[in-house]
Structure 1
Amino acid sequence: MSLMRDTLAVCRMIKIEHSVFALPFAFTGAFLAQGAGPGWSAPSWRVLAPLTLAMVAVRSFAMGYNRLADLDIDRLNPRTQMRPLVTGELSVAFTKRFLFVCALVFTAACAAMNSTCLLLSPVALVWSGFYSHTKRFTPLCHFALGSVLGLAPVAGWLAVSPHSLGYPAVLLFFAVTLWVAGFDILYACQDADFDKSQGLCSLPAHQGVARALFTAAATHASAALLFPMAGLSAGLGMLFLCVSLIIGCILVWEHRLISAEDLSRVNVAFFTMNGVIAVFVFLGAWADLALGSPWALLR
């Protein structure tokens, strides 16, 4: 029972369900890299399996490190006082061991992909931890977080094509960075007063909620333009463009759910809708690539 209890506490700490945000973009990068040459076939499981393991491990590392770095803040914030590290369900020592294991698993998974991924793995680990400190000194912290998830399509591309980084992966990096930054600004609006009282530099604390919501909308509008640009640069067709249009509509709806006077539906916008967007991008890219060649299951 203790093992089960600890496992559930770890899953709550790292919000394992939010892996849906990063994995589809990593797969999208891998599939687009595979489609860069003549014809198309889906990447092998020999690529996708370590890629999946690496993405889950580095995301778990980033979330665990964030909870450790923010422990002093989380103890004071009423919204976060039930997190496992705050309540004592998980100890600081246990969390440090968990981070060490995640780093080892991530490095091993990168090594299983190729030497380029292995060489870049320390950079990814350092950057995924560094973003946790940025809200202490810059209102651009949301974009730092976005860039961590923005590395997912880059990682997927390099897992398949380690010697060159294509324009689609670069455009997806910026699209995902802006998309994540936008919804992280929305999420941070819940803590605007608390962050301001603690001298933290989130955009809602720095600009006020109303202006932060406008910034989030502009950021999401930019992301909505970059997604179809990435598809066009990868040679995708009308299907992905239609998916991109749907994503734009979802983002508009997301912002209509929230106002400076009513933030009660932030969690709906944060998880449900954004999880749908991540999956839609992957399915749209996969379907467009597959329609260009015979439909086939993964090898």
Structure 2
Amino acid sequence: MDRLRAHMNNTAFHHTVFSLPFALMGALLASNGDPPIGDLGWIVLAITAARSAALALDNLADLKYDVQQPRLAYRAMVQGRVSKKEALVFIGVCLFVLVFATLQLHPVCIRLLPFAALPFLIYPYMKRVTGWVHIFLGIAIGMAPAGGWVAVSGSIELPMVVLFIAVALWIAAFDAMYGAQDEAFDRSQGLHSLAVSFGAHGAFRISRVMHILSILCFCVLGGMMHLAWPYFIGVAIAAATLVYQHRIAGPTDFSRVTQMYFMRNGIVSIAIFVFAWISYFV
């Protein structure tokens, strides 16, 4: 049980809340509100396995930096509760589960899997290359709703692309805000982020624009899919959450940029998915 808890810590299992609701939303919209229950089960398994492998890979790639970062002292690999070998085995098992689950879905999914998996495989190394690393994380998580859509419909359609962009911008923006607190550390290690490239003030301004564009994309999506009014209540809740996040934190005060601040972003994915689902009953 201790080993299981260590691996759950290493993969931040609770972060699934950022991708899974939107993966289910992709399936919901692609099926016009009536996704096959069996497909939903395989989508949940595939997304959970994919993001677990991605987080384990990210922690493995960044271990040499994380051990020097006091803020990350709680992580299982930093504490030695998960070894590098164990992490590699865990990643292999997750990838096997991902492939197996994907094979149970629409046949096109397995052919598209390499393209969907590529962003989360390269993301951990992009902070060594570009300050726009947050966009790569957004793309990686944006693959969740895209995957949910294709898993049910077997096709790539314009509303799916809009949903993908909305999720990618949302993730990239709050990741840039959260990561801005590490500006000094990243500079000292030769790592990149929006805060390193443009300063914390610039990172927050860019994040604000990305969040506005994200909410606009969610509104456009509702119009394209002819969703009923409850969906827009969900979008309004999401927008209010993001406004609140921007109000309580800024480039000169990171005292409230905590794990609670990070996890509060889950309200966005849950609210939009739940109210999109409710809209089909109106």
TM-score when scaled to structure 1?
Answer: 0.91
Tell me if the contact between 1:13 and 1:67 (Cα under 8 Å) persists in the aligned partners: yes
Alignment partners' CA distance in 1, 2:245 and 2:159: 26
State how far apart, in whole Å, the 1-side matches of 2:5 and 2:261 are. 25
Tell me the residue number matched to 1:297: none
Pair 1:186 & 2:183 matched: no
- CA offset at residue 260 of structure 1? 1.9
1:251 aligns with 2:242: yes
Hey, which bits of structure 1, 4+ residues long, moved more than 3 A?
none
Corresponding residue number in structure 2 for 1:295: none
Matches within 5 A, 1:1-299: 4-35=1-32, 40=33, 42-162=34-154, 164-267=155-258, 268-272=260-264, 274-291=265-282
Following the alignment from structure 2 to structure 1, what is the Cα–Cα distance between the partners of residues 21 and 173? 18
Q: How far is the alpha carbon of 1:101 from its aligned partner?
A: 0.3
Separation in 2, partners of 1:113, 1:288: 26
- d(CA) in 2 for partners of 1:81 and 1:249? 32
Report the alpha carbon displacement of residue 119 of structure 1 after superposing the two structures with TM.
1.3
Instruction: Verify the 8 A CA contact 1:167 1:230 in the aligned structure 2.
Output: no
Amino acid at match of 1:100: G
CA distance in 1, matches of 2:278, 2:38: 21
- Unpaired runs of 5+ in structure 2? none
Amino acid at match of 2:118: V
Percent identical: 36
SS of structure 2 residue aligned to 1:142: helix
- 8 Å Cα contact 1:24-1:278 kept in structure 2: yes
- Asked which structure has the greater CA Rg, the reply is 1
Higher relative contact order (CA 8 A, sep 6+): 1
**Secondary structure of the equivalent of 2:227?**
coil
Measured after TM superposition, the shift of residue 269 of structure 1 is 2.8
Q: Does 76-85 or 226-235 show the bigger shift?
A: 76-85
1:24-69, Cα deviation, whole Å (9 max, x unpaired): 000100000001xxxx5x2122100100000000000100000111
Residue 103 of structure 1 contacts residue 125 of structure 1 at CA under 8 Å; is this kept in 2? Answer: no
**Structure 2: which amino acid aligns with 1:157?**
W
Q: 1:296 matched to which residue of 2? A: none
Give the total of aligned pairs: 281
Pairwise CA distance, 1:140: 0.9
Deviates more, 1:243-252 or 1:151-160: 243-252
Is the contact between residue 51 and residue 159 of structure 1 (CA under 8 Å) also seen in structure 2?
Answer: yes
Counterparts of 1:189 and 1:130 in 2: how far apart (Å)? 21
Instruction: Output the aligned Cα RMSD.
Output: 1.2
When normalised by structure 2's length, the TM-score is: 0.96
Deviation at 1:125, TM superposition (A): 2.6
Unaligned runs of 5+ in 1: 292-299
Distance in 1 (CA, whole Å) between partners of 2:248 and 2:37 is: 39
